[in-house]
């Protein structure tokens, strides 16, 4: 088990530092996937992601980052996620159709690539800002599309 703690603010005397601080408590995971969703490389989220990559790699982990904005990851779950014909084109039911597509190896490449990364990872880190009490739409789309029925 790996426990990674990232704190946004660190008390240093009377001054608050807005720099991420990463601490690895215990290491047993060797392959780490960071699913990252922030559009600004100058953000706290980017700094936290970079710090996690640096510390985890220094502790011998192999770290892979899925930068959803850089990848231009498609957030919408549609029939385009399926290669070939769908079972019921008139009444498209995403969960059922993607389950069949997963079973038949007919999910589109961006989904299968993210599923490959997930399958190989010992530890998954989701790094994102809170938008209106939830994850950004691009992260929600990643969750909906990648964690498809049958796979997850």
| Mean pLDDT value across residues 16-21 | 56
Ramachandran region, residue 16 (left: φ > 0; alpha: ψ -120 to 50; beta: rest)? beta
This prediction has a pTM of 0.82
Q: Which of 13-22, 24-33, 89-98 has the highest mean pLDDT?
A: 89-98
Q: How confident is the model at residue 148 (pLDDT cuts 50, 70, 90)?
A: very high
Decide if 65 contacts 34 (C-beta within 8 A).
yes
Band the pLDDT of 24: cuts 50, 70, 90: low
The pLDDT of residue 34 is above 50: yes
Question: Is 7's pLDDT higher than 60?
Answer: no
Report the C-alpha dihedral over residues 140, 76, 109, 37, rounded to 10 degrees.
Answer: -40
Mean pLDDT of 144-148: 97
Q: What is the mean pLDDT of the chain?
A: 86
Predicted pLDDT of residue 10? 45
Distance of CA 141 to the CA centre of its chain: 10
Would you list the domain boundaries of the chain? 4-146
User: Three-state SS for 144?
Assistant: helix
Whether the per-residue pLDDT at 140 is higher than 60: the answer is yes
pLDDT for 17 equals 54
As a whole number of angstroms, the longest Cα–Cα distance in the chain is: 64
Output Rg (C-alpha) for the chain, integer angstroms: 18
What is the CATH topology of the domain spanning 4-146? Rossmann fold (3.40.50)
Q: How far apart are CA 63 and CA 117, in angstroms?
A: 11
pLDDT at 141: 97
How crowded is residue 35: how many other Cβ atoms within 10 Å of its Cβ? 25
Is pLDDT above 90 for 115? yes
Rounded distance, CA 55 to CA 51, Å?
A: 6
Segment of 3-7, 76-80, 87-91 carrying the highest mean pLDDT: 76-80
Looking at per-residue pLDDT, the higher value among 114 and 30 belongs to: 114
Would you say 39 and 131 are in contact if contact means Cβ atoms under 8 Å apart? no
Distance CA 97, CA 88 (A): 8
């Amino acid at each position: 088990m790996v426990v990674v703690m990232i704190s946004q603010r660190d008390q240093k005397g009377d001054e608050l530092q807005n720099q991420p601080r990463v601490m690895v408590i215990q290491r047993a995971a060797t392959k780490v996937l960071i699913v990252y969703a922030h559009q600004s490389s100058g953000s706290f989220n980017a700094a936290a992601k970079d710090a996690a990559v640096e510390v985890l790699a220094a502790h011998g982990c192999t770290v892979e980052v899925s930068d959803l904005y850089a990848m231009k990851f498609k957030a919408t779950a549609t029939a385009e996620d399926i290669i070939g014909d769908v079972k019921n084109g008139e009444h498209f039911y995403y969960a059922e159709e993607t389950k069949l597509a997963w079973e038949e190896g007919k999910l589109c490449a961006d989904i299968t690539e993210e599923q490959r990364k997930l399958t190989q990872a010992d530890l998954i880190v989701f790094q994102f800002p809170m938008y209106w009490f939830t994850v950004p739409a691009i992260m929600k789309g990643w969750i909906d599309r990648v964690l498809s029925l049958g796979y997850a």
